[in-house]
Amino acid sequence: MKKRILSLVLAGTLALSLFGCSGGGGGGEGGGGAAQGMYPGTSEAGSIRVECSTMSVMNPILMTYATEFAVARHCWDALVKLDENNQVIGAAAESWESAPNAEGVEDMIWTFHLREGAKWVNSQGEVVGDVTANDFVFAWSELLNPNNAAEYYAFATIFKNAQAYYDYASGVEGAPEVTLDQVGFYAADDYTLVIELENPLPYLLQYLKFEVMTPIYQPFYEEVGAENYGTSPDKLLYNGPFRMTEWTLENSITTVKNDEWYDASNVSLKAIYWDKYTDSNTKLNAFQTGEIDVIDITGEQRAQFEAEGYPVNNWIAGYSFYFYCNNIQEEDLANYPGAKLSDARSINLRKAISYAVDRQQIIDTVFKNDNEPSPAFSLGISGVSAETFGEAVVAANNGQPLYNPTADVEKAKEYLALALEDLGYTDASQIKISLLTSEGSQNELFSQVVQEQLRQNLGIEVGIDVVTITEARARRNAKNYDLFMGGWGPDYDDPMSDLDLWTSTNGNNHTGYASEEYDALIESTKAESDPAAREQLFVQAELMLAEDMPFIPIYWRHEDYVVSEKVADGLIRLPFQYYNLIYTTLAQ
């Protein structure tokens, strides 16, 4: 009997396998008919699918990635937001005014008048409550709550006493007692929010538009619990143009139009799908077969689209890439446990390297796209005397870039000779520099190109040290490196967001560069109220960085992307707005 059953099972499996094979060849439902255009896009009416990489955290106060903020921008309204030209406009707040504080300093107290009738909805679209001033007070209190360990808590330290409160609440030794009601924000009534600043802040509104500054509905937050808030769409409430209905971790988020939003009548998209792809070929294939509407592309993929005559779009997120250089001098080494005494401590060697690298060649070889050789450090910031801050810097340098786009071998060798003197070497072969490189074929190719350029143009042998990204970061922070490729993107539209990085106390300045003069220059911008004069101070800071060269700027990143023919208009990608699809319209 047993044998018969087994035979039947086997016969069954054999039959199944035949069926399975034919199924494999003939089945399928993803096939598209003959398309009219080249890439007509996804088939679902009224919706678009866009590529969005990291979407690990959806509790607004805990987010850290530009891609997470992109989704957040569509789900929540902060007090203000950026429009299609990156100008600040009202969002949850309809109007605002400023007043001097008790000491008579202008623009220190701000009153925001909230839009009445704005609603909180859940993932189902049901109205749960009204958006009031207390929702901001509560959200900012949670941002400053040490138990949440929010990385972007610093955004809430612009308020009076907020840093002192955070330190006290975190149990920092010696921190004087400060209570939450002493922190500079309160609700005067349901629709009036008053804030008092710690220091004058010319770019306050740029801060307040930041997605970690969005409100939270306290009763709901307390009902689900801080530890669960934002772990799934039904554990969040929404006050923005869209609401989240589905979230498959590491894969996809679905947001659908929020009919309760104040300007819902002007939103034409019914849904936005945010899809994550880990494989760039799969992504390209999915675009070609109409499974996604917007994807970022590589230099090679861009060449393919251009060869087909399909339009390629380009945008700047604001990322500036540069080599961190280890500046630690011999006499300071004892202050940095684990740090390395590097040959890069010679300013002349850093300049020799900067002149010896061919930035354009790096871009042409490694990226094959519109990345630009950095003319200055700061990118993506609006200017006062020119359209962008970067242009103002170049103008101040007689129209010349601060850093050469192609190699200048002669100058490089001049500086190399000085560097040998600095370091007490007799021959260039004694210089020991290595490029700390995190794993990844593009990173490794990048380092190889630089290695070859330095070999040819300077005659020095540079090593390449490939390690995991976490180890690279650990070594960067410990200053146990010579040169390490890093990137920086600004958080808000003001040169401070970039240039503050190189002050001696900034936790992200991993070079050991500590210039009292530079610190003072950055500090002086805080007291300057005239925008044009303030910009000039920042220009001076850029010039000082080029002179001291604590780091070596290499390129400004541009991103290429393609959009399917389904999208008609209103797809916005700008610095600080990774995506703005609120008013995107579709071709009919």
Taking a C-beta distance cutoff of 8 angstroms, is the pair 274, 52 a contact?
A: yes
> Considering only residues 277, 551, 561, 579, which one is a binding residue for another protein as defined by CB under 8 A?
277
Taking a C-beta distance cutoff of 8 angstroms, is the pair 417, 349 a contact?
A: no
> Considering only residues 22, 36, 265, 278, which one is a binding residue for another protein as defined by CB under 8 A?
278
**CB neighbours of residue 90 within 10 Å:** 17
Q: Does 17 bind another protein (CB under 8 A)?
A: yes
CA–CA distance, 267 with 258 (Å, rounded to integer): 9
Shortest distance in whole angstroms from residue 236 CB to another protein: 12
Q: Nearer to another protein by C-beta: 101 or 232?
A: 232
Q: Nearer to another protein by C-beta: 66 or 193?
A: 66
Instruction: From 84-92, 246-254, 528-536, 545-553, give the range in contact with another protein by CB under 8 A.
Output: 246-254
Instruction: From 74-82, 200-208, 274-282, 516-524, give the range in contact with another protein by CB under 8 A.
Output: 274-282
> Considering only residues 417, 474, 533, 587, which one is a binding residue for another protein as defined by CB under 8 A?
474
Instruction: From 28-36, 369-377, 547-555, 577-585, give the range in contact with another protein by CB under 8 A.
Output: 28-36
Q: Nearer to another protein by C-beta: 290 or 375?
A: 290
Q: Nearer to another protein by C-beta: 119 or 510?
A: 510
- Residue listed under structure tokens 């069954």: 12
Instruction: From 21-29, 81-89, 298-306, 577-585, give the range in contact with another protein by CB under 8 A.
Output: 21-29
Shortest distance in whole angstroms from residue 183 CB to another protein: 16
Q: Does 361 bind another protein (CB under 8 A)?
A: no
Using alpha carbons, list the distances in angstroms from residue 542 to 343, 432, 516: 24, 29, 15
Q: Nearer to another protein by C-beta: 96 or 138?
A: 138
What track of x and - describes contact with another protein for positions 30 through 69 (by CB under 8 A)? xxx-----------------------xx-x--x-x-----
Q: Nearer to another protein by C-beta: 139 or 352?
A: 139
CA–CA distance, 84 with 89 (Å, rounded to integer): 10
Shortest distance in whole angstroms from residue 391 CB to another protein: 26
Q: Does 174 bind another protein (CB under 8 A)?
A: no
> Considering only residues 95, 98, 179, 251, which one is a binding residue for another protein as defined by CB under 8 A?
251
Shortest distance in whole angstroms from residue 412 CB to another protein: 29
Instruction: For the segment 284-323, give every residue that binds another protein (CB under 8 A).
Output: 285-286, 288-289, 291
Instruction: For the segment 480-509, give every residue that binds another protein (CB under 8 A).
Output: 486-488, 507-508
CA–CA distance, 477 with 482 (Å, rounded to integer): 12
Beta pairing class for 47-51 and 271-275: parallel
Instruction: For the segment 181-240, give every residue that binds another protein (CB under 8 A).
Output: 227-231
From the number of C-beta atoms within 10 Å of its C-beta (0-12, 13-18, 19+), residue 336 rates as middle
**CB neighbours of residue 88 within 10 Å:** 17
Rg of the chain on CA atoms, in Å: 27
Instruction: From 26-34, 110-118, 369-377, 390-398, give the range in contact with another protein by CB under 8 A.
Output: 26-34
> Considering only residues 368, 473, 526, 558, which one is a binding residue for another protein as defined by CB under 8 A?
473
> Considering only residues 92, 150, 458, 552, which one is a binding residue for another protein as defined by CB under 8 A?
150
Residue 18 CB contacts under 8 Å (≥ 6 apart), including other chains: none
CA–CA distance, 79 with 92 (Å, rounded to integer): 5
Q: Nearer to another protein by C-beta: 98 or 335?
A: 335
Shortest distance in whole angstroms from residue 428 CB to another protein: 32
Instruction: For the segment 440-469, give every residue that binds another protein (CB under 8 A).
Output: 467-469
Instruction: For the segment 70-129, give every residue that binds another protein (CB under 8 A).
Output: none
Q: Nearer to another protein by C-beta: 383 or 512?
A: 512
CA–CA distance, 219 with 49 (Å, rounded to integer): 33
Q: Does 6 bind another protein (CB under 8 A)?
A: yes
> Considering only residues 146, 202, 405, 459, which one is a binding residue for another protein as defined by CB under 8 A?
146
Q: Does 252 bind another protein (CB under 8 A)?
A: yes
Taking a C-beta distance cutoff of 8 angstroms, is the pair 555, 374 a contact?
A: yes
What track of x and - describes contact with another protein for positions 151 through 170 (by CB under 8 A)? x-xx-----------xx--x
What are the structure tokens assigned to 547, written together? 């002179």
- Residue listed under structure tokens 């009292």: 516
Q: How many Cα atoms within 13 Å fall on the side-chain side of residue 520? A: 3
**CB neighbours of residue 444 within 10 Å:** 16
CA–CA distance, 159 with 140 (Å, rounded to integer): 10
- What torsion do the CA atoms of 277, 281, 284, 288 make, to the nearest 10 degrees? -120
Shortest distance in whole angstroms from residue 456 CB to another protein: 31
CA–CA distance, 438 with 490 (Å, rounded to integer): 22
> Considering only residues 1, 22, 25, 330, which one is a binding residue for another protein as defined by CB under 8 A?
25
Using alpha carbons, list the distances in angstroms from residue 563 to 291, 292, 295, 296, 439: 12, 9, 7, 9, 30
Angle, alpha carbons 361-560-466 (nearest 5°): 55
Using alpha carbons, list the distances in angstroms from residue 342 to 132, 461, 473: 55, 15, 17
Instruction: From 20-28, 325-333, 350-358, 553-561, give the range in contact with another protein by CB under 8 A.
Output: 20-28
Shortest distance in whole angstroms from residue 290 CB to another protein: 9
Shortest distance in whole angstroms from residue 478 CB to another protein: 10
Residue type, 59: N
* Count of residues that interact with another protein, criterion CB under 8 A: 75
Question: DSSP per residue over 39-87, as a string?
Answer: -----STTEEEEE--------GGG---HHHHHHHHHH---SEEE-TTS-
Taking a C-beta distance cutoff of 8 angstroms, is the pair 581, 571 a contact?
A: yes
- Residue listed under structure tokens 């018969």: 4
